[in-house]
C-alpha cells in the first residue's frame, strides 16, 4: 500500500490534473487506485464525475475526518462517474466545500493524524492512494502529509510556481517529525503546463534539476485538451485520438511512480 500526497503551495499549478490523469493512467494499467480529495474546492471529485446529492446525502471525507476513527473512511468511499470499464478500478473519497470546517479542529490534540487514522485499513485493497492537496500548507495539507508515505509536487515553470514547489518541499523537510511521519519524503517534481517559446518557462525548466536534484520527472505540456476533459468531467480518452500524446505523458509518469514505489 502506498499513499502519495500531491501538492504545491501555488494554486493552479496542475495538482488536480496530475492526480486525476495519473489515476486514469494507473487504472488503465490495471492498478486499483483510491483518490482522496483533500481540497474543499472538490475539483477532483467533480472531474471524476462525482456529485453530492442532497436528496440522498452520503458521508464524504468531511465526515470521515471529523470522526477520525480507525478505518472510518471506508464508509465514505464512492465509485466514480466515468463510463469506462477501467473506471471501476478508481474509487474516490469525495469532498465538499465544507471540508473547510475541519480546519478549525487543527488545535485539537492529535487532529493532524485524523486522515491517517481514517484511512487505516480502508485503503488496504488499493495499489495506490493519491491525495490531492489544496494550494496551501495549512491543516488540510498537513493531514495529507501526515497520512502519506511519499509526496510529489507539481511545478509550473514560472517564478511563483517554482517558489510554491520549493516551499512544499521545505515544509516536508522541516515538519515531518511534527507530522509524526519521519519517513515522509518528496520523490518527484513534475513540471506542469509547460509552454515552449516562453522565456520564463525555458529559464525555469533549466533551473529545476539544480533545485530538485534527481527528482525532476517527465514534463506535462500545456494542452487545451486537458482543460476540456476537466471541464466535461471526462477521462482524457473520451475526447478521442487527439489525446494520445498527452495520455502517453501521464502513462509515463504513472510508470515512474510505480517504479519509485516498487508497486
Ligand X SMILES: Nc1ncnc2c1ncn2[C@@H]1O[C@H](COP(=O)(O)OP(=O)(O)OP(=O)(O)O)[C@@H](O)[C@H]1O
254 vs 225: CA distance, rounded Å:
19
Q: Sign of the C-alpha dihedral, residues 110, 108, 130, 212?
A: negative
246 vs 160: CA distance, rounded Å:
25
Which of 11, 59 has the CB closer to ligand X?
11
Contact status: 193 vs ligand X (CB under 6 A)? yes
Using CB under 6 A, pick the residue from 11, 59, 71, 81 that binds ligand X: 11
Partner touching 260 among ligand X, Mg ion, none, CB below 5 to 8 Å by kind? none
Which of 120, 228 has the CB closer to ligand X?
228
Partner touching 141 among ligand X, Mg ion, none, CB below 5 to 8 Å by kind? none
6 vs 38: CA distance, rounded Å:
10
Contact status: 9 vs ligand X (CB under 6 A)? no
Binding segment (CB under 6 A) for ligand X, from list 24-32, 65-73, 204-212, 215-223: 215-223
Contact status: 46 vs Mg ion (CB under 5 A)? no
Residues 16-35 touching ligand X, rule: CB under 6 A, are 16-17
Place of cell 500545456: 222
- Compute the least distance from the CB of residue 235 to ligand X, in Å: 13
* Stretch 80-109: interaction string toward ligand X, x if CB under 6 A: ------------------------------
Contact status: 12 vs ligand X (CB under 6 A)? yes
DSSP strand pairing (33-37 vs 2-7): unpaired
Contact status: 220 vs ligand X (CB under 6 A)? yes
Partner touching 12 among ligand X, Mg ion, none, CB below 5 to 8 Å by kind? ligand X
Which of 16, 142 has the CB closer to ligand X?
16
Binding segment (CB under 5 A) for Mg ion, from list 36-44, 100-108, 120-128, 215-223: 36-44
Residues interacting with ligand X, by CB under 6 A? 11-17, 39, 41, 43, 135, 192-193, 220, 222-223, 226-227, 230
Amino acid at each position: 500500500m502506498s499513499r502519495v500526497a500531491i501538492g504545491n503551495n501555488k494554486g493552479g499549478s496542475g495538482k488536480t490534473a496530475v492526480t486525476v490523469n495519473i489515476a486514469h493512467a494507473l487504472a488503465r494499467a490495471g492498478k486499483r487506485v483510491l483518490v482522496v480529495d483533500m481540497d474543499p474546492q472538490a475539483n477532483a471529485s467533480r472531474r471524476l464525475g462525482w456529485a453530492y446529492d442532497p436528496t440522498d446525502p452520503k458521508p464524504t471525507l468531511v465526515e470521515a475526518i471529523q470522526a477520525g476513527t480507525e478505518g472510518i473512511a471506508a464508509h465514505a468511499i464512492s465509485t466514480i462517474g466515468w463510463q469506462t470499464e477501467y473506471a471501476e478500478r478508481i474509487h474516490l473519497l469525495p469532498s465538499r466545500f465544507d471540508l473547510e470546517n475541519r480546519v478549525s479542529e487543527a488545535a485539537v490534540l492529535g487532529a493532524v493524524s485524523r486522515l491517517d487514522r481514517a484511512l487505516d485499513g480502508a485503503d488496504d485493497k488499493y495499489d495506490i492512494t493519491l491525495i490531492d492537496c489544496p494550494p496551501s500548507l495549512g491543516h488540510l495539507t498537513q493531514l495529507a502529509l501526515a497520512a502519506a508515505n511519499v509526496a510529489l509536487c507539481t511545478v509550473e515553470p514560472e517564478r511563483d510556481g517554482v517558489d510554491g514547489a520549493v516551499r512544499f518541499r521545505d515544509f516536508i523537510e522541516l515538519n515531518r517529525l511534527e507530522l509524526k511521519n519521519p519517513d515522509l519524503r518528496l520523490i518527484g517534481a513534475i513540471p506542469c503546463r509547460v509552454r515552449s517559446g516562453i522565456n520564463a518557462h525555458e529559464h525555469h525548466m533549466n533551473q529545476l534539476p539544480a533545485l530538485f536534484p534527481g527528482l525532476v520527472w517527465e514534463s506535462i505540456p500545456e494542452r487545451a485538451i486537458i482543460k476540456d476533459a476537466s471541464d466535461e468531467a471526462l477521462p482524457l480518452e473520451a475526447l478521442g485520438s487527439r489525446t494520445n500524446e498527452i495520455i502517453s505523458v501521464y502513462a509515463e509518469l504513472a510508470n515512474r511512480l510505480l517504479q519509485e514505489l516498487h508497486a
